Structure 1
Amino acid sequence: MTGLPIVKGTAAWKYFGDFRAGLLAGQVLVLQVAHPVVAAGVRDHSDYVEDPWTRLMRTAASLSIYIYGGPEGARYEADRLRALHRRFTGVDDGRRYSALNPHAYAWVHATLVMVPVDTQRFYGTPMTPSEVDEYYAQMCDVGRLLGLREQDLPPTWPEFERYYADMIDGFGPNETISTLFETIRTVKKPWRWLPDERWVRLQRWQHRGQMFVIRATLPPALRDRLGLQWTARDQRRFDRFRRVVRFFGSLVPVTLRSSLVRRIGRLNVWFRAHPRAYRFLGG
């Protein structure tokens, strides 16, 4: 299945960079590191525990390039990501692993494919069936650009949903998920100039907020296996929260909801074409 190019007006262009997707950042991280190979790679090679803010910005910049950076920018970023992940190898429970393990690599892509669909389901207006089909075909093209094989992702959206549910059914607690939750609780302040006493209060607030949204948006079966409690009162609070997000999001025109991420994508393509400027700014 081949999708339309990601250009203005198409499903991926409209939905992938929706600013409300940031509310699912924690959920996506949990789903990714629930995969044992991804968990081992993050444990051994990621710096997110020491510097989660920079890691988050780099991930957002990378995504913006291969969705909104045009064909050349997407190919460049895809080649860079494959070369980067080729170095991430190790041993877990006596077995060698690679970050380019096809099943693990496909799962990471699958979690990102699901983000815009979940964003609209939780915080916006759910995509129509035709939009979902167009969007999924476009994201399969992105997956192939990233090095996924034809057999790595199902050919249709209904088959993808079954694959996604089957994968989640096989996940449970692991050390990396526990470390992620601890990192959310103890994360360092993002800016040095922020007073410590103010960050103590903000840190407590962001921890409660992040964990609430993670508990709200994780698939219920996985949430239960991770020992995360969820009550009817929690559900009512989340329903009120997402109604507020949906209302204010509806005030922003569709073409503007992804404008920030689109600009980041174009800026990063420019940086790739001007490496001296990129290095000067610490890239």
Structure 2
Amino acid sequence: MAPPIVRGTAAWKYFGDFRDALLAEQVLVLQVAHPVVAAGVLEHSDYTADPWTRLMRTVASLSIYVYGGPAGARVEAERLRALHRSFTGVADGRRYSALDPAAYAWVHATLVKAPVDVQRFFGRPLSTSELAEYYAQMCDVGRMLGVRERDLPPDWAAFERYYDSMVAGFTGTPAIEQLFETIRTARKPVPFLPDSWRQGQLFLIRATLPPEFRERIGLQWTAEDQRRFERFARLVRLVTTPIPAGLRTGPMRWLGKLNVWFRAHPRAYRLLVRGNGPGATPSL
């Protein structure tokens, strides 16, 4: 049984680290590499029209699972599953559902893996004991979301084997190409960002994807690219690692508590945010 997610525990320290944003697009690429997820995105998501609002609502939903308390997490999990029940269709002659157990588990797996990779790239890698605690806590989150027990590997080593085997079976999908095109062409989330911001996002995707998968989908990576990324990672590590975990996770924790409050005051949410609730749209 995992310890509850409270101040100082592994999931509390790492899941909401603001550096996790550096891998946001990488996570989306890996999610839509799954053929069922890709089919659902292409048929049911309009994220290309306003990707940043969609992304923020997804972040709001995620914040509830870890920082919104057990009751808030249960309510959000029920809402999310109800939302995805309607995402069904036919792709390549086969029916699919957004709640396909294997695809549903894979989306959860990408969200479990990313904070660990962020610490490996840009912070201090988790210790063996931290990994064990973090993974056990995120398995509890997966159970709340409805991931089947059989789709939750028993420990971190088994999880890594599962994750690597999944990635090894993926190739390019039209949804990946659509995602890249959206990053290249969608309006910037804030107007003052330089145009080079788009190239920076694409560079981080190439830098942090599993190398074999990166090559398989035709993304170029050179020795000079690797040196550039290592310089960037060192700078991020130097500037951010001394910041206490409570400050690094502050925005996500605040967002989780705020969204629990919005759940209890839906009229306030509709008035202030003009939506149907935190995380009201799918992740893409």
User: Is 1:277 aligned with 2:276?
Assistant: no
Q: In structure 2, what is the Cα distance between the partners aligned to 1:142 and 1:268?
A: 17
Instruction: Identify the residue that residue 47 of structure 1 maps to in structure 2.
Output: 46
Q: In structure 2, what is the Cα distance between the partners aligned to 1:224 and 1:250?
A: 31
Instruction: Identify the residue that residue 239 of structure 1 maps to in structure 2.
Output: 230
Q: CA deviation at 1:153?
A: 1.5
Q: In structure 2, what is the Cα distance between the partners aligned to 1:205 and 1:88?
A: 35
CA deviations 1:252-274 (Å, max 9, x no partner) are 11221101000000000000011
CA deviations 1:40-66 (Å, max 9, x no partner) are 001111121111010110110000001
Q: In structure 1, what is the Cα distance between the partners aligned to 2:132 and 2:112?
A: 12
Instruction: Identify the residue that residue 117 of structure 1 maps to in structure 2.
Output: 116
- 1:218 corresponds to which of 203, 209, 225: 209
Q: In structure 2, what is the Cα distance between the partners aligned to 1:83 and 1:206?
A: 36
Question: Where in structure 1 are there 5+ consecutive unaligned residues?
Answer: none
Cα RMSD of the aligned pairs, angstroms, is 1.0
The DSSP-based 3-state class of the residue aligned with 1:125 is: coil
Q: In structure 2, what is the Cα distance between the partners aligned to 1:251 and 1:149?
A: 38
Q: CA deviation at 1:158?
A: 0.3
Q: In structure 1, what is the Cα distance between the partners aligned to 2:215 and 2:153?
A: 27
The DSSP-based 3-state class of the residue aligned with 2:196 is: helix
Q: In structure 1, what is the Cα distance between the partners aligned to 2:63 and 2:70?
A: 12
Instruction: Identify the residue that residue 152 of structure 2 maps to in structure 1.
Output: 153
Question: Where in structure 2 are there 5+ consecutive unaligned residues?
Answer: 276-284
Q: CA deviation at 1:251?
A: 3.0
Letter in 2 for 1:22: A
Aligned residues: 274
Letter in 2 for 1:252: I
Q: In structure 1, what is the Cα distance between the partners aligned to 2:3 and 2:87?
A: 33
Q: In structure 2, what is the Cα distance between the partners aligned to 1:265 and 1:71?
A: 12
Q: In structure 1, what is the Cα distance between the partners aligned to 2:157 and 2:117?
A: 15
TM-score for the superposition, normalised by structure 1: 0.95
Q: CA deviation at 1:147?
A: 0.5
The DSSP-based 3-state class of the residue aligned with 1:53 is: helix
Q: In structure 2, what is the Cα distance between the partners aligned to 1:248 and 1:129?
A: 25
Q: In structure 2, what is the Cα distance between the partners aligned to 1:45 and 1:73?
A: 26
Q: CA deviation at 1:241?
A: 0.0
Q: CA deviation at 1:189?
A: 3.5
Q: CA deviation at 1:190?
A: 3.2
CA deviations 1:3-38 (Å, max 9, x no partner) are 111011110001100000000011000000000000
Q: In structure 2, what is the Cα distance between the partners aligned to 1:5 and 1:78?
A: 17
The DSSP-based 3-state class of the residue aligned with 2:154 is: coil
Q: CA deviation at 1:206?
A: 1.8
Instruction: Identify the residue that residue 19 of structure 2 maps to in structure 1.
Output: 20
- How high is the sequence identity, in percent, across the aligned residues? 69
Pairing of 1:149-188 with structure 2 (within 5 A): 149-188=148-187
Q: CA deviation at 1:280?
A: 1.0
Q: In structure 1, what is the Cα distance between the partners aligned to 2:189 and 2:65?
A: 26
- 2:255 corresponds to which of 264, 277, 282: 264
Q: In structure 2, what is the Cα distance between the partners aligned to 1:132 and 1:233?
A: 32
The DSSP-based 3-state class of the residue aligned with 1:206 is: helix
CA deviations 1:212-251 (Å, max 9, x no partner) are 1000000000000111010110000000000000011123
Q: In structure 1, what is the Cα distance between the partners aligned to 2:35 and 2:93?
A: 13
Letter in 2 for 1:231: T
The DSSP-based 3-state class of the residue aligned with 1:6 is: coil
The DSSP-based 3-state class of the residue aligned with 2:126 is: coil
The DSSP-based 3-state class of the residue aligned with 1:41 is: helix
- 1:205 corresponds to which of 190, 196, 202: 196
Q: CA deviation at 1:104?
A: 0.1
Q: In structure 2, what is the Cα distance between the partners aligned to 1:143 and 1:109?
A: 7
